Structure 1
Amino acid sequence: MSAATIEPKPYDRSEGAKRDIIAGGVVIAAILLFVGTGGKVMQAVVGTLIGIGGGPDKVLSVALLLNIALILFGWRRYKDLNREIRERTEAEQRARYLADTDPLTGFLNRRALLARGQRLIAGAAAEGRHVALFLLDLDHFKTVNDIHGHAAGDRVLHVSAERISAILPPSATMARLGGDEFVAMLPFEPAARPDIDALATQLVAALEASVAHDAQMIHIGASLGISLATDASAVMETMVRQADIAMYHCKDKGRNRYCWFENGMEMAVQVRNQIETGIREGMPRGEFVPHFEPQVDIASGRLVGFEMLMRWESPEYGMIPPERFIPIAEESGLIGELSLQVIKEAMEAAKAWDPSIMLAVNISPQQLKDPWFSQKLTKLLVETGFPASQLEVEITESSLFENLPLVRSIVTSLKNQGVSLSLDDFGTGYSSLSHLRALPFDRIKIDRSFIAAMRGSPDALAIVVAIVRLGESLSMPITAEGVEDEATAVELTRLGCGKGQGWHYGRAMSATDTARLLADRDLLRTPLLPPTSPDTGDTEPLRKSA
């Protein structure tokens, strides 16, 4: 066996204790002998000095010297034992601290929280008090790591822990569960629940403030779920799970807020988990497919393009609308892969269209946080052979606020490939002329809420008119979403709006029905082959002829 593989023999505490007992016994014996022989030897030495006697006995003198040596040895061993005990005690305390503490924040870790929390619940119940458990999750924390790096993520966690500690009372038990999740437990009198609400409000407000890191201001927020223990029967694992459910309920409601756990939330979480599981299992099975909503030149009625809309054809639940699963795909981090998968299918279908027909695709705000998104979309164009000049990427205004420089880099790269760029949902609260100047947009899309309300609301009509005039002054064509009747189309024509889409022109249809529609209008590059099986798409023909 080589020297590299020889392991040191582990320290045996029982053997060490035996050696300490033997050493102690030797020292005690030496002290007793010293007392017995020392007196005689010293008397003989003194007698010799004053001229009485023949001097100390040599044997007794040697015994005395040996006793002194043993006593010195014992004293040194005593000091060594004291030092070893002190070092061992400090090491055990340090090991216990590391075992119970999160090193980044100084809070308890999950294991220590579960143990101490259960004792806290029992102690509070004995005093007739309740316990509130806060579970706090930082919003979009993964984005901080992806964009700014893990050092910035650690900085955000450290600052968040400092803010939590500054707001909560010293009696609170604070822990970091892992990642960006924090827990705090607070005993309180049953009548003092408003105080807990006030603390939750302060925590959410404090964590909304930006964090400075390397000359950058990182914007975060927090969603806070609260569960309640009213007696000693409460179980820590259950309380954490309930607070986690309440926290996700906050995220569904818009984030940056707090919610108390309610029994109905558990069912909603179960449904959400079923949908997320269905998304993960349905993606490799090809259950997500593109549908296409017609876009028409309002003045002439000519078909000019389609907007791709995602549909989920679940074998278990049937056709699931996007508003049911896309938010969950975004929260679970699946939206990027899912979107690119369906966009690729759309490109495969659309490359047979006439070059005059545009394909518009919506991009999730989460995808614009991916520095490699432009390259991924360009790769799809190459793989499918779809012309970049026929692709229009739609970006919502809300996605521009978190990292405008990154978005600018992405869209500039796409523009260099020949892709068109559209600013979607314009006018919904984030509108800024600076965005129209900062990014190379080709088109503005008016949000459907203004189109639906403009005939009955002078304010909505004024907004539509202002956006159309803005587009004219910037030489940017306007698309109106949500055109659902002839009267709205006529009014938009009068205002000078160029393009429209909505139920008035046709609902979203499957790829097969879209190909049939284009074949009827002689707008396919290649003839349409007869279908081998009936199509089940929800087709509604255009109300205007091309």
Structure 2
Amino acid sequence: MKFQIAGNDSEDTAAGRQVDVVALGIVTAAIILFVATGSEIGPAVVRSLRGEGPGPDRFMLDAFLLNIAIIIFGWSRYRQLCEEIAAGKTAENAARRLAETDPLTGFLNRRSFNAGVDALIAQSAGPGMNHGEDQHRATALMMIDLDNFKQVNDHNGHSVGDLLLCECARRIGAALPRGALVGRIGGDEFAVALPFDRQRPEFVDHIAKVLVASIGESARINAVNIAVSASIGLSRSDLAGESPAGRVSSLFEMADIAMYHSKRQGRNGFSWFEAHMADEMRFRSELENGIRQGIPRGQFVPFYEQQIDLQTGELIGFEMLARWDSPQFGIVAPDIFIPVAEDIGVIAELSQSVIAQALEDARAWDPRLTLAVNISPIQLRDPWFAQKLLRMLVEANFPPQRLEVEITESCLHQNLAQVRSLITSLKNQGIRVSLDDFGTGYSSIGQLRELPFDRIKIDRSFVSSLVDDKDSAAIVRAVTTLGKGLHLPITAEGIETQDVLDHLRQYGEITGQGYLYGRPRPARDLGEWLDAGPHSENKAPGEPPVPLLPKSGLG
């Protein structure tokens, strides 16, 4: 078994020196006979040519000529056999390389890398040889996962993705010291194993930092600048158990857990495995299983937050917020389950399920109340999303003019042309589109003019702090002024105090939402509240304002 070692690409060069013993023996025997017969025939031939005697014996001459033929044939056959042996050895080496390496990057594949790590652990378990000192060494394992690589494939095609993988492989190989094993163990996953002094783990830290920085540099492929980052998990063999077999398995498991921890910490970094990460990983696994099982069981349900005209106090609609009614975890907030659902590829199914429920609920409201729904950035990459949403509207018999789709500002930088196409398709169907969380991304005024949004929503982080933070107040004032200039209605999120409400009212026509008007409610509570009407509630002094239902509201 040969392993690809960074900086050392050794090949077996002995194939061409192998010979066929039988063919060589025949040629050797023929040469000996040629010499023996030639010693007798040669003088007789010379005397005959001089006219000094009879020619050579007929039998000996035939034997001599036969030896010459055997030598010529035998040497030719010997060369052919050598070439066949060399070709066979070359094919064998090529087959071995295909079996042991990844054909795209040339790195070891998973099976060969695992065997290499096993051998490296066995070697590093003994004392070191640094100046004769007995320094115990260990093996470090790095699990390297490219962040958001799927988006590169989706936006640019798999051929560009393959070229990016090769470029990342080149950068990884260039950053590693001699003696390090490197392999590609998945679609966008690489692994590195290297020995180190267990008293100096900073050596491994340095290599991990270099890898993160190198992979994170923009790559120009097919005249397109593509940027990816890497999340790296680290583990060490001296903390991975006692038995050799269990030690290798634990090493991989710990590095994998640490790698996912790096992703949860914001990606583009590295983490050493720590014991608490295993608990996080188990919790994550329970979340994933619960989400997959909960979608078909209807555990994801819509909650509704009021949207209020701040000048009149009139209720104008609701924003739908997804909640997970889990039998194991209780009511789970979206900031916990949505990132997990996106990672495991079920966010579109989850979102469609909750939106369909919300359309059924909103159909029974006063027809002047609107429904706002959020969509995931992943759904924006679905070219058929607008058609799917229209089908849900038809199935629920819900007027598209009462629906508002909220697109997060950060989505504008992923694929502006695709976002423009989606917004146009939605508006052609009569659906309104708003720009959500405005101020948290990098939208330009040009993009606001270019994209036909119907509303701007100011992020709650600015609204909730505008009374105490002059910068937040300035941002809110600037956004409201911008909205008036572009003739775009403004909605302020995160209204939680009366002081914030009073401050916002000075900007004129503006809508708002937040906990000052109550927490988001499930459909069953919302229906009872709408039927009862606001005037049935006795508002005590100091309580938040009670929104007025539309004058022709239900109940």
- CA distance in structure 2 between the aligned counterparts of 1:373 and 1:201, rounded to whole angstroms: 40
State whether structure 2 residue 123 is matched by structure 1 residue 123: yes
State whether structure 2 residue 148 is matched by structure 1 residue 140: yes
2:65 counterpart residue number: 65
- CA distance in structure 2 between the aligned counterparts of 1:216 and 1:49, rounded to whole angstroms: 84
State whether structure 2 residue 317 is matched by structure 1 residue 305: yes
Amino acid at match of 2:546: R
Question: Aligned match of 2:469 in 425, 441, 457?
Answer: 457
Question: Aligned match of 1:279 in 268, 291, 296?
Answer: 291
Q: Deviation at 1:241?
A: 2.1
Q: Deviation at 1:259?
A: 1.2
Q: Are 1:125 and 1:231, in contact at CA under 8 Å, matched by a contact in 2? A: no
Q: Deviation at 1:275?
A: 0.8
Q: Are 1:30 and 1:71, in contact at CA under 8 Å, matched by a contact in 2? A: yes
- CA distance in structure 2 between the aligned counterparts of 1:545 and 1:49, rounded to whole angstroms: 135
Q: Deviation at 1:264?
A: 0.8
State whether structure 2 residue 546 is matched by structure 1 residue 543: yes
Question: Aligned match of 2:330 in 308, 313, 318?
Answer: 318
More divergent stretch after superposition (215-224 vs 494-503) = 494-503
Question: Aligned match of 1:434 in 446, 452, 464?
Answer: 446
How is 1:213-292 mapped onto 2 (pairs within 5 angstroms)? Answer: 213-230=221-238, 233=242, 235-292=247-304
Q: Deviation at 1:83?
A: 1.1
- CA distance in structure 2 between the aligned counterparts of 1:159 and 1:407, rounded to whole angstroms: 29
More divergent stretch after superposition (68-77 vs 43-52) = 43-52
State whether structure 2 residue 216 is matched by structure 1 residue 181: no
Gaps of 5+ in 1: 1-19, 523-539
Q: Deviation at 1:272?
A: 0.5
Question: Aligned match of 2:160 in 143, 148, 152?
Answer: 152
How is 1:44-83 mapped onto 2 (pairs within 5 angstroms)? Answer: 44-51=44-51, 54-83=54-83
Question: Aligned match of 2:395 in 360, 368, 383?
Answer: 383
Q: Are 1:479 and 1:497, in contact at CA under 8 Å, matched by a contact in 2? A: no
How is 1:369-408 mapped onto 2 (pairs within 5 angstroms)? Answer: 369-408=381-420
Q: Deviation at 1:542?
A: 8.3
**Change over 3 Å in CA distance of 1:167–1:23 after alignment to 2:** closer
1:200 counterpart residue number: 208
Q: Deviation at 1:143?
A: 0.8
Q: Are 1:347 and 1:386, in contact at CA under 8 Å, matched by a contact in 2? A: yes
Q: Deviation at 1:75?
A: 1.2
Q: Deviation at 1:36?
A: 5.1
- CA distance in structure 1 between the aligned counterparts of 2:75 and 2:368, rounded to whole angstroms: 99
- CA distance in structure 2 between the aligned counterparts of 1:497 and 1:198, rounded to whole angstroms: 56
Q: Deviation at 1:335?
A: 1.0
1:526 counterpart residue number: none
The aligned length equals: 511
Amino acid at match of 1:110: R
Q: Deviation at 1:145?
A: 0.6
Q: What's the TM-score once normalised by structure 2's chain length?
A: 0.84
- CA distance in structure 1 between the aligned counterparts of 2:299 and 2:160, rounded to whole angstroms: 38
- CA distance in structure 1 between the aligned counterparts of 2:206 and 2:79, rounded to whole angstroms: 56
**Change over 3 Å in CA distance of 1:439–1:481 after alignment to 2:** same
Amino acid at match of 2:390: T
Q: Deviation at 1:359?
A: 0.9
Gaps of 5+ in 2: 1-19, 129-135, 535-542, 550-555
Question: Aligned match of 1:167 in 164, 170, 175?
Answer: 175
- Aligned-partner SS, 1:482: coil
**Change over 3 Å in CA distance of 1:403–1:273 after alignment to 2:** same
- Aligned-partner SS, 2:515: coil
1:113 counterpart residue number: 113
Q: What's the TM-score once normalised by structure 1's chain length?
A: 0.86
Question: 1:10-57: per-residue Cα shift (whole Å, max 9, x none)?
Answer: xxxxxxxxxx67656655654555455444444544454455664433
2:365 counterpart residue number: 353
Question: 1:268-310: per-residue Cα shift (whole Å, max 9, x none)?
Answer: 0111011111111221222212222221222222221111111
1:96 counterpart residue number: 96
Amino acid at match of 2:191: V
- CA distance in structure 2 between the aligned counterparts of 1:266 and 1:92, rounded to whole angstroms: 43
Identity of aligned residues (%): 51
Q: Are 2:405 and 2:432, in contact at CA under 8 Å, matched by a contact in 1? A: yes
2:219 counterpart residue number: 211
Q: Deviation at 1:205?
A: 2.3
Q: Are 2:304 and 2:520, in contact at CA under 8 Å, matched by a contact in 1? A: yes
Q: Deviation at 1:363?
A: 1.3
